[in-house]
Amino acid sequence: MAAVICVAPAVLPGAVAVAADVPSYGFDADARSVAAAPGTQDAVRLEPGTTYRSSFTSRGKTYYRLELDGASNTYVSVTAVPRADATLTSGDGIKVSVQDADGTGCSQDSVTVGASRSPRPLTAWAAREIRPGKKLCQEPGTYYVVVDRAGTGGDESDQPWELELTPVTEPPLEKAGATSVPETWNSATPAPPVAEPVRRPGGAGFARATPLTQGVWRDDIAPGQTLFYKVPVGWGQQLYATVDLDSAEQDTGFVVPALDLTLYNPVRAEVDETSIGYGGRQTSTALPPLPPVRYANRYALTNPTKSLRFAGSHYLVVHLAAKVADRFGDGPYGLKLRVGIGGAARSGPGYAAQSAPRGVFEADTESAQGTQGTTAAAVGGTSGGEGGGTAMKAVAVGGLGTGTALLMVLGVWTVMARRRA
């Protein structure tokens, strides 16, 4: 019986060992699989409010179709996931655009892996926006999302990249609002929170991002890994974020860039980013001061102001370059994320209808606050995704092993009692 009882602890080391591996990107579990079309003729229709999963294998363009009205704004983000063992150049990435039926470009965006050349999820976006006085891309009808590979491709030019596509619709306002961007705002950077860090494992993708509020949160990150968090930011509020990377066992050599922190808005459009090198000693970097979230920010000429146009969940994405392992070991490395929210949330601009998906432009502060301090969140939670749920899996496996052992013990006792009788 003692040998049987020892089965439960023996299961745990194997489950914990999985956490040492770099987890893959956590796609939305409800995403619909769609085929990528090489031209507009066979382009699959995307419905706003639904997440899609696709891939493309060549360096040619890939097309998807939208059927849009003449009143709503539509945003489409595309997250491309290179293979973890891909050999990339600094210019490798993706280009995303929205075009009308005549081939006129409505907007476009591109992103590359940058100087680190570290394989990681790459997110770009494009939109069809309804604007007063604008002539192009204002009519209802058929539009196309066009995804293309960027860069020289290295030796991975023909390898498939998986895609996650999220079209979002923003309805018009009930009443027209201001179109001028306020020139003044509080640009002072407050001192970062100094509370005792609370463990909150990050998620493996946007759909599995771990909810956070103001505070200090800690986690472990392995070289090549990307962690996703989401923070509810209301209308009129400002978001501040600082990331700290703990020291390594050795401090020889230097990797630059090593640690990236990127902020995305509720439609997964990049707002701003910061990066820093790493020499084995503890280091820290922070996002620059950001203006308050306001509807009129969309009329700004540049980011970060232009992208801070919605209330709702904003995503903090942290990536540690794979090259850190070459200099300082496989890790994992201790990480602290300091999050601050400035200002009181205000009422929204007053939309005439619901967005798709519903509630995407609402700041769900109650949901995020409800996860603080809970046992589930401390060991992985339900929102940590593939990367954050490893500890919970270990607990579950351990619990299953313990339960099985107890049933076997009870069975032995029952047989012995019957024999005695």
pLDDT score, position 388: 37
Q: Which residue has the tokens 């001192």?
A: 191
Model's pTM, two decimal places? 0.82
pLDDT score recorded for residue 377: 34
Check residue 58 and give its pLDDT: 61
Residue 19 neighbours by CB distance under 10 Å: 18
Collapse the DSSP code of 327 into the 3-class scheme (helix H, G, I; strand E, B; otherwise coil) and give the result. helix
Question: How confident is the model at residue 365, as a pLDDT?
Answer: 62
pLDDT tens, the chain, 421 aa long: 344 333 333 333 333 223 346 779 999 999 999 999 999 999 999 999 999 999 987 668 999 999 999 999 999 999 999 988 888 899 999 999 999 999 999 999 999 999 999 999 999 999 999 998 899 999 999 999 999 988 765 545 567 899 999 999 999 999 987 888 988 888 888 888 888 999 999 999 999 999 999 999 999 999 999 999 999 999 999 999 999 999 998 878 899 999 999 999 999 999 999 999 999 999 999 999 999 999 999 999 999 999 999 999 999 999 999 999 999 999 999 999 999 999 999 998 999 999 999 999 998 765 554 444 433 333 333 333 333 333 333 333 344 344 444 344 344 444 444 444 3
Kindly list the distances between the CA atom of residue 191 and the CA atoms of 57, 233, 340, in Å, as whole numbers in the listed order.
Answer: 47, 19, 9
How many Cβ atoms sit within 10 Å of the Cβ of residue 36? Answer: 21
SS3 content of the chain, % helix, strand, coil (to 5): 20, 35, 45
For residue 30 the two structure tokens come to 């409800």
Give the per-residue pLDDT at 374.
36
- Contacts (Cβ under 8 Å, ≥6 apart) of 96: 76, 77, 78, 108, 109, 110, 124, 125, 126, 145, 146, 147, 148
In terms of Cα–Cα distance, which of 74, 233, 235 is closest to 169? 74
Across the beta sheet with 52-56, the strand order is 32-33, 52-56, 161-170, 73-81, 122-128
Query: Are residues 287 and 317 in contact, defined by beta-carbon separation less than 8 angstroms?
Result: no
